[in-house]
Amino acid sequence: MDCASSRIFSRSSGETRSKRASFSSNSRSRTFSNCRRSEVRVGTIASDPYQAAAYRGVITDATGVQAVPVRAWPWADVKATEFAFPNDPNALQQATAVLTPEQVASLNVEGASNGITGGIWVRDEAKKLYSLVIRPLLPDEAK
């Protein structure tokens, strides 16, 4: 069935109603879809993957966690003590710091440029264990 025929069958006259009923719904859906594709130009907008200028690193105290793969603290230029905890004692006590793309890449985690949602455990020089999460900062976010 071509696009012109599908338009005839889509009307609600008595004869076309019975002919329309003889086609399966899948057949009509495919035909409609094919007609739409031929009538509307479909395309995509060219874009590049987002390249974050900076990342938010978040550490959470993981004291007592066992049986996880632990890495040494990954950065010589950023210490765990430089991550800032919220001032509000009632807020979730996760410390944050702004990291560079190079610092994130140094973790050697595949796909880290898109962020790391968990599963990275680091131990600082004081032997304290942390869970590490990384996410890209958006262009309008304050560092």
The 10s digit of each residue's pLDDT in 62-79 is 999 999 999 999 999 999
Q: Tokens 């109603």 map to which residue? A: 17
Least confident range of 8-22, 40-54, 91-105, 124-138: 8-22
Beta-carbon contacts of residue 90 (< 8 Å; ≥ 6 apart): none
Residue 131: is it exposed, middle or buried by C-beta count within 10 angstroms (0-12/13-18/19+)? middle
